[in-house]
Amino acid sequence: METFKKLKQFYWPYKSWLLWSLFALLFVTGITVVYPIVLQVTIDKVIIDGQYSWIPYISAIFLVLMGIKAVATYFHQYLGDYFGIKAVYTLREALYKKLQRLSFRYYDNASTGDIMSKLTADVDGFRFFLSFGFSEFIRIVLLITVSLSVMFYYSVPLALVTMAAMPFLIVVVFRFDRRVHPAFRKIRKSYGKLNTRVQENISGMNTVKSLSREDFEVERFLNRSDHYRQTYIATSNIWAKFFPLMEFIGNVCVVALLAFGGYLVTTGELQLGELVAFFSLVWYILGPLMNFGFVINLFSQSKASGERLLSILEEDEDIINAPSAKENKLKGSVSFRDVTLTYPGEEERALSHITFDAPAGTTVGLIGATGSGKTSLTQVLTRFYEPESGQVYVDGKPVEEYDLQQLRRNIGFVLQESFLFSTTIKENIAYGNPLATESEIIDSSKRAQAHEFIMDTPYGYDTLLGERGMGLSGGQKQRIAIARAILVDPAVLILDDATSAVDMDTEFKIQMALKEVMSGRTTFIIAHRISSLKHADEILVLENGEIAERGKHEELLTNGGIYQRIYDIQYKDKEKIMKTSPR
């Protein structure tokens, strides 16, 4: 029960609904056990003794009991479901909030499909036990207890003989639990991997089709699906072995009941109606005991689901606000002091002893080969990752002393891969500033050179976009992302290869528009094209996580180093090609 104890905070506040449901269950169970008693009275008093005057009374009592049971069943089921639904609503909310707080470190090692599986299938699996499984366990205990009491009232010897095989049935049930829980844990993990395979295939469908790898993807899916099938078959095999054994033990009890009970009727120690009632009551015990395997099945599934949910809830939040964190409006001065970063699971450093200053309002260009540390530098600034040593300062204060959300609201971030939501263009631009007016949204779009193509869409700013901005070109998506960053009005603006997906003409227009936007705010420009950052106040050339060169564009061209080689590749080689190419 350790898993349920850890998740108690999500369902225990709603225990009153469960208690009312169980109260209604008492009526349902009590009336259920009355049926055999009514049957016994009908046989012994009406049929055998001929007291037909009892028929109207028995019928009326039976109808009243049926009505009470129907009402009690309604409240039991409704309140039980309400309890489970309220609990998992709170649980799902906590899971989603937790996912928002977890750092990039968690998502580096997590798969989207597995997370989706936890938020859907595992949450529902846990809810089903809360709504049905737990109350079913209570119903079984109550039904067995009350039925046994009535059986011992009718005949102690017959009750003892009938129950002789029960300990064997209980042993089989518990052995079943020990086998089935690990099996269901494997099923949940296999289902998560299958979900991941489907999610990755759909997300990368363009790549799959462009490389004609459909057959390969089908094969990979079938492998995952086959593993899921095998784990389910293994679990079904456990069921197939244990349930016939449980049924056999139950039938032994029935044979003992009929043999010894028939003998007691012939000797006059037991009436025929009591034997018939006894026969009904024994199935009120055997049925629930065999159904106990189903309850254990639900418990095992919910326990496996709960363990997977706890893997999210108990994940360490390694980047959090300091107790003394305060909200402040940033001016934009940035300083790095001996900052070193190594990503989790990696051996090589992403950043090594980085030190530089970016006074408020200046523009810093970052250039270097792929994997040199350009993006890593900005991710440390925004606290997406924590450095293992060194310190990052903003306006002279360590970034840890700022409120985390306020820090990031003051930093406009345009990623290399622009992500757009499945909503209108207007809502995508205003995502970081939902209170922005329409005129402000249009103004930011014009600055990002996006207004013209937006107005060419069917409904302008109210045009709905497909998943991940489907329907727009890469350059159009990137310009909308730039407009979104502009609208936030950040103190620090980070352009992570923000113009990589646009043509040279559009890049020039964006650069002209960004001059106004960059004025008065600290700007980091990550680029592979020198044309995007040659006007920066300082350019940092990164190599293997270290600052290999620094200076202005003109200074770096005279050093004969990495920057000049990049310049030669991008400009001088092009000039040679232009001169030698036939006109």
Claim to verify: residue 393 and residue 285 sit in the same structural domain? no
Claim to verify: residue 71 and residue 205 sit in the same structural domain? yes
Please calculate the CA angle 141-143-148 and round it to the nearest 5 degrees: 95
Residue 507 has a pLDDT of: 66
Claim to verify: residue 302 and residue 205 sit in the same structural domain? yes
Residue 548 has a pLDDT of: 92
Tokens of 374: 């350009």
**H-only helix segments in 267-402:** 272-313, 374-381
Domain end residue (candidates: 281, 313, 345): 313
Residue 71 has a pLDDT of: 94
Claim to verify: residue 87 and residue 190 sit in the same structural domain? yes
Residue with tokens 């012994």: 44
What's the CA gap between 442 and 460, in Å, rounded?
Answer: 11
In this structure, is residue 488 part of a structural domain?
no
Q: What percent of the chain has pLDDT over 70?
A: 90
pLDDT tens digits, 336-368: 999 999 988 788 899 999 999 999 989 999 998
Residue 214: give its domain's CATH number.
Answer: 1.20.1560.10
Residue 237 has a pLDDT of: 82
Residue 337 has a pLDDT of: 94
Residue 577 has a pLDDT of: 45
Handedness of CA 392, 397, 401, 403 (dihedral sign): negative
In this structure, is residue 68 part of a structural domain?
yes
Which residues are CB-contacts of 260 (< 8 A; sequence separation ≥ 6)?
157, 158, 161, 162
Owning domain of residue 149? 2-313
What are the φ/ψ torsions at residue 537 (nearest 5 degrees)?
-65, -35
Residue 338: give its domain's CATH number.
Answer: 3.40.50.300
Claim to verify: residue 210 and residue 259 sit in the same structural domain? yes
In this structure, is residue 529 part of a structural domain?
no
Claim to verify: residue 204 and residue 133 sit in the same structural domain? yes
Residue 581 has a pLDDT of: 47
Claim to verify: residue 116 and residue 218 sit in the same structural domain? yes
What's the CA gap between 529 and 571, in Å, rounded?
Answer: 10
In this structure, is residue 98 part of a structural domain?
yes
Widest distance between CA atoms in the chain: 121
| Intervals of the chain under pLDDT 70 | 177, 181, 199-200, 203-212, 293, 323-328, 416, 467-470, 498-504, 506-507, 509-517, 572-583
**CA nearest to 357, candidates 547, 78, 184:** 547
Claim to verify: residue 340 and residue 376 sit in the same structural domain? yes
Domain end residue (candidates: 278, 313, 348): 313
DSSP label at residue 523? E
Q: What total of structural domains would you count in the chain? A: 2
Claim to verify: residue 256 and residue 335 sit in the same structural domain? no
In this structure, is residue 122 part of a structural domain?
yes
In this structure, is residue 447 part of a structural domain?
no
Tokens of 356: 């530089």
Domain end residue (candidates: 313, 345, 370): 313
pLDDT tens digits, 154-185: 888 888 887 777 787 778 777 776 777 677 77
Claim to verify: residue 350 and residue 220 sit in the same structural domain? no
Q: Is 121 exposed, middle or buried (0-12, 13-18, 19+ CB in 10 A)?
A: middle
What are the φ/ψ torsions at residue 515 (nearest 5 degrees)?
-60, -45
Claim to verify: residue 303 and residue 368 sit in the same structural domain? no
Residue 578 has a pLDDT of: 44
Beta strands across the sheet bearing 389-394:
351-358, 334-341, 389-394, 397-398
Which residues are CB-contacts of 48 (< 8 A; sequence separation ≥ 6)?
271, 272, 273
Across the chain, mean pLDDT equals: 82
In this structure, is residue 484 part of a structural domain?
no
Claim to verify: residue 198 and residue 84 sit in the same structural domain? yes
Tokens of 465: 């976009």
Q: How does strand 334-341 pair with strand 411-414? A: unpaired
In this structure, is residue 546 part of a structural domain?
yes
